[in-house]
Amino acid sequence: MVSRDPASTRRTVGAFDVRFFIAIALGLIGVFLLICAVLADPELAKTGGIHANLWTGVALVVAAIVFAVWARLRPMYVDTSAAPEAPPQKVGAPEPELIVHDDDEPRGRTDTGR
Amino acid sequence: MDTIIDVAWYDYVPLVIYFTLVLGIGFLGRRHVSNAIDFLLSGRSLPAWITGLAFVSANLGAVEIMGMSANGAQLGIPTVHYFWVGAIPAMLFLGLVMMPFYYGSRVRSVPEFMLKRFGPAAHLVNALSFALAQLLIAGVNLYLLGTIVNAMLGWPMWVTLIIAAAIVLSYITLGGLSAAIYNEVLQFFVIVAALLPLTIIGLNRIGGWSAFEEKVLAGPGGSQQWSSWPGSDLSGFTNPVLSVVGIVFGLGFVLSFGYWTTNFVEVQRAMASNSIRASRMTPIIGTFPKMFVPFIVIIPGMIAAVLVPEIVAYKEAGGPSDSTITWNQALIYLMRDVLPNGLLGLAITGLLAAFMAGMAANVSAFNTVFTYDIWQRYVQQDKADHYYLNLGRIATVVATVIAIFTALIASGFSNLMDYLQTLFGFFNAPLFATFILGMFWKRMTAAAGWSGLVFGTLSAVVVFIFSRTGAIDLGGQGAAFLAASVAFVVDIIVSVVVTQFTAPKPEKDLVGFVYSLTPKERRTDPEASRHPWYQRPLPMAGVSLGLVIVLNLLFG
């Protein structure tokens, strides 16, 4: 049974969550496109009338916010008490306990059947 | 220097943002949270959605993006077979059937599975051919990258090669193998952000989907290019029944199962997940983005073939080889014609990100297999950890330098590299035969393991040479399908025959490697039933298969 005591065995991966990197990348590029949309020629003849830099910029900023909020609401945890590797090659050895906790794990049922 | 695209100074901004972040992931991973990150990534601990995206992304390199958009421009809709027939079923099979063995047996690499199931001879054959193939493919990736940068930014080939190689080298050695998966997930979103606007704006320029359909139907390829079946131009079989059989068996079964289920670059991603359930979910989750990749890769290629004057003329002339234009440039011409500066920078960033990540995946897979499967096993066995770490770094540098030279050679003999690459596709077909037999037939012997591989591969080479010299006359991908199929069948025959005359391994050594000898707990996740249906492999594989069938019907 994995202990679920947050103080001793679990900590969040903090800023090292891939969703923050995605948010930063898409957000910065989105802002860059919005600046282009204001300052540069929209070249509507090329795009067939769509203000391409503007709309792509908006979409990227929205996507960045979604990723940042998701990472905030459902942080990833590392269980620092678990051994990273279970002893190898034991016949019928049970799978190691889940190490990272994320929204992939069923909620509120961690105590059943173990 | 003449370039296809006119780049404004600010088009470099997204490039700088992206590569700063990628290198930043490397630094952060190294300096601040090095324990956590090593733990997180190499300790089999990532959630399935991350490994699933990395799984798709590792394959989304230069060959995939330029190659498939080029096929789209040349052949049209039938190119979707490379995805819906040639990838999805194999990915589902990997997740449902094969992943439990890879994950449950706790091997570090695919060649190591070979070692434990069949012993050193098969292991050595597999490790050497894989390492060599990765080096050459890294070179091809680098060469394609060089030609693209040259066409976009006008830098000379050798400057491009060295700069690109330096960047790839720094992000492998800096972030270590551990940051690779994060970079791939990031890269996936940047590619989508680059190619999706290109597709939408391209369609808008033509006048919408129905105008696009009209133009393709009126084009040189006619209605063949608007429906995926029977795909005669793709398979090279003029008989429609043969063509369907060729695509389903040659591409869909032998070639694609061989590639997706035994390629270490791919399987490694699934091995990094946090449970047997997550490892099985990895390729299954991967199928969902994978089935929609054609819409942002093939469709832009097809748009270029009806919208860009140069490509339209090139297609009308039947793709002459003496032209300065090649199919590979379809995407770049489309970028020139429809993207305003700013968005153009993002598109360039997406392409470069994909090419470098593809090459990085090849180089890091090479260095893992070279260090642990070849050097540690056969040359220097009992050294301290840091010895192998340093060796891995040296191998990375050497591999990158070799890739530069391979790329330079390829720039002189681009056809040769095409052939070499097809040839390495053939290595996978016998490999798949050996794996699948070995996993389900406990009698199969070690000698059968290596001899099947050797003779299977040789038979593919023979068929390939016959088709090049004209003894077998098949256009399109027909020769590749045939060679792979022959390799598959020869491998199985040789394995079965050799097994009759040699002694099998003792059963206790095969636990975890052969289906009938592996206890159910090792193969399944006892917790799986507690998860809702959308987090379980079988139901999700069913949804994925259903979606692919619907897509096939829509574009059939």
Domain that holds residue A18: 6-81+90-101
Q: A25–B49: do the CB atoms touch at under 8 Å? A: no
Residue A110 inside a domain? The answer is no
The Cα–Cα gap between B401 and B196 comes to 34
The Cα–Cα gap between B15 and B348 comes to 8
Lowest mean pLDDT among B144-153, B400-409, B415-424: B415-424
For residue B103, which of A95, A60, A8, A19 has the smallest C-alpha distance?
Answer: A95
Q: What is the pLDDT of residue B278?
A: 85
Least CB–CB distance from B17: residue in A29, A37, A43: A29
H-helix or E-strand containing A11? strand A10-12
H-helix or E-strand containing B425? helix B414-440
CA distance to partner chain B, nearest, from residue A5 (Å)? 18
Q: A98–B275: do the CB atoms touch at under 8 Å? A: yes
Q: What is the pLDDT of residue A110?
A: 38
Q: What is the pLDDT of residue B193?
A: 93
Does position A113 have pLDDT exceeding 50, yes or no? Answer: no
Q: Which residue has better confidence, B211 or B507?
A: B211
**pLDDT by residue (tens digit) across A18-67?**
888 899 999 999 999 999 988 888 788 888 888 888 999 999 999 999 99
Residues B198, B335: contact at Cβ < 8 Å? yes
Question: Collapsing DSSP states into helix, strand and coil, what is residue A101?
Answer: strand
Residue A41 inside a domain? The answer is yes
Does position A96 have pLDDT exceeding 70, yes or no? Answer: no
Q: A25–B189: do the CB atoms touch at under 8 Å? A: yes
Q: What is the pLDDT of residue B491?
A: 93
Overall fold of domain B9-410: Sodium/glucose cotransporter (1.20.1730)
- Please provide the average confidence, as pLDDT, over all residues in chain B: 83
For residue B293, which of B103, B495, B523, B71 has the smallest C-alpha distance?
Answer: B71
Question: Collapsing DSSP states into helix, strand and coil, what is residue A12?
Answer: strand
Q: What is the pLDDT of residue A63?
A: 95
The Cα–Cα gap between B48 and A79 comes to 17
Q: What is the pLDDT of residue B31?
A: 60
Q: In the block, which residue shows the tokens 């942002």?
A: B296
Greatest C-alpha distance within chain B: 69
Q: A92–B339: do the CB atoms touch at under 8 Å? A: no
Lowest mean pLDDT among A76-85, B72-81, B155-164, B358-367: A76-85
Q: In the block, which residue shows the tokens 């692919």?
A: B548
Domain count, chain A: 1
List residues bridging with A110 in a β-sheet: none
Q: How crowded is residue B209: how many other Cβ atoms within 10 Å of its Cβ?
A: 10
Percent of chain B topping pLDDT 70? 91
For residue B352, name the pLDDT band (cuts at 50, 70, 90): confident
H-helix or E-strand containing A100? strand A100-101
Least CB–CB distance from B46: residue in A94, A100, A109: A100
Burial of B35 (0-12, 13-18, 19+ CB in 10 A): exposed
DSSP letter, residue A20: H
B235-266 residues labelled b (16+ CB within 10 A) or e (exposed) = bbbeeeeebbebbbebbbbbbbbbbbbbbbbb
Question: Collapsing DSSP states into helix, strand and coil, what is residue B33?
Answer: coil
For residue A104, name the pLDDT band (cuts at 50, 70, 90): very low
Burial of B411 (0-12, 13-18, 19+ CB in 10 A): middle
What's the mean pLDDT in B530-549? 88
The Cα–Cα gap between A110 and B521 comes to 19
Top residue of B18, B34, B45, B105 to mutate, by most chain A CBs within 10 Å, is B45
Question: Collapsing DSSP states into helix, strand and coil, what is residue B274?
Answer: coil
The Cα–Cα gap between B207 and A27 comes to 30
Residue A106 inside a domain? The answer is no
A81 half-sphere exposure, CB direction, 13 A CA radius: 11
For residue B104, which of B536, B521, B540, B529 has the smallest C-alpha distance?
Answer: B521
What are the residues whose beta carbons fall under 8 Å from the beta carbon of B258, sequence distance 6 or more? B425, B428, B429, B430, B431, B432, B484, B488
Judging contacts by C-beta atoms under 8 Å, the chain A residues touching residue B525 are: 95
DSSP letter, residue A89: T
For residue A14, name the pLDDT band (cuts at 50, 70, 90): low
DSSP letter, residue B46: B
The Cα–Cα gap between B412 and B161 comes to 14
The Cα–Cα gap between B442 and B451 comes to 17
The Cα–Cα gap between B37 and B189 comes to 21
Interface of A with B in 11-30 (CB under 8 A): 13-16, 18, 21-22, 24-26, 28-29
Q: What is the pLDDT of residue B29?
A: 65
Residues B374, B233: contact at Cβ < 8 Å? no
Residue A111 inside a domain? The answer is no
Question: Collapsing DSSP states into helix, strand and coil, what is residue B196?
Answer: helix
Q: How far is CA B141 from the centre of its chain?
A: 11
User: With DSSP H G I counted as helix, E B as strand and the rest as coil, what are the percentages for chain A, rounded to 5?
Assistant: 45, 5, 45
Q: A100–B49: do the CB atoms touch at under 8 Å? A: no
Q: What is the DSSP string of B370-392?
A: IIIIIIHHHT--S--HHHHHHHH
Phi, psi of B298 (to 5 degrees): -75, -45
Sheet holding A10-12, edge to edge: A10-12, A77-79, A100-101
What are the residues whose beta carbons fall under 8 Å from the beta carbon of B100, sequence distance 6 or more? B276, B280, B518, B522, B523, B524
Question: Collapsing DSSP states into helix, strand and coil, what is residue A70?
Answer: helix
Residue B118, amino acid = F
Residue A27 inside a domain? The answer is yes
Q: In the block, which residue shows the tokens 């699933």?
A: B52
For residue B86, name the pLDDT band (cuts at 50, 70, 90): confident
Q: Which residue has better confidence, B518 or B450?
A: B450
**pLDDT by residue (tens digit) across B439-497?**
888 889 988 889 999 999 889 888 888 877 776 666 656 777 788 888 899 999 999 99
For residue B228, which of B546, B549, B475 has the smallest C-alpha distance?
Answer: B549
Pick from A76-80, B90-94, B230-234 the range whose average pLDDT is largest: B90-94
Pick from A98-107, B209-218, B377-386 the range whose average pLDDT is largest: B209-218
The Cα–Cα gap between B308 and B204 comes to 14
Residue B130, amino acid = F
Q: What is the pLDDT of residue B226?
A: 85
Residue A75 inside a domain? The answer is yes
For residue B103, which of B433, B523, B436 has the smallest C-alpha distance?
Answer: B523
Judging contacts by C-beta atoms under 8 Å, the chain B residues touching residue A15 are: 28
What's the mean pLDDT in B33-45? 49
Judging contacts by C-beta atoms under 8 Å, the chain A residues touching residue B189 are: 22, 25-26, 63
Does position A98 have pLDDT exceeding 60, yes or no? Answer: no
What are the residues whose beta carbons fall under 8 Å from the beta carbon of B196, sequence distance 6 or more? B296
Residues B343, A52: contact at Cβ < 8 Å? yes
CA distance to partner chain B, nearest, from residue A86 (Å)? 9
Pick from B89-103, B161-175, B260-274, B318-332 the range whose average pLDDT is largest: B89-103
CA distance to partner chain B, nearest, from residue A18 (Å)? 6
The Cα–Cα gap between B461 and B427 comes to 9
Whether residue B230 is preceded by a cis peptide bond, meaning omega within 30 degrees of 0, is: yes
The Cα–Cα gap between B52 and B95 comes to 11
**pLDDT by residue (tens digit) across B355-369?**
887 788 888 788 888
What's the mean pLDDT in B251-276? 82
The ranges assigned to domains in chain B are: 9-410
Q: B338–A48: do the CB atoms touch at under 8 Å? A: yes
Residue B171, amino acid = Y
Q: Given CB atoms, is A36 within the 8 Å cutoff of chain B?
A: yes
What's the mean pLDDT in B341-353? 90
Phi, psi of A77 (to 5 degrees): -110, 150
Q: Given CB atoms, is A2 within the 8 Å cutoff of chain B?
A: no
CA distance to partner chain B, nearest, from residue A65 (Å)? 14
The Cα–Cα gap between B359 and A36 comes to 31
Tell me the count of A-B CB pairs closer than 8 A: 161
Judging contacts by C-beta atoms under 8 Å, the chain A residues touching residue B340 are: 36, 40-43, 46-47, 52-53
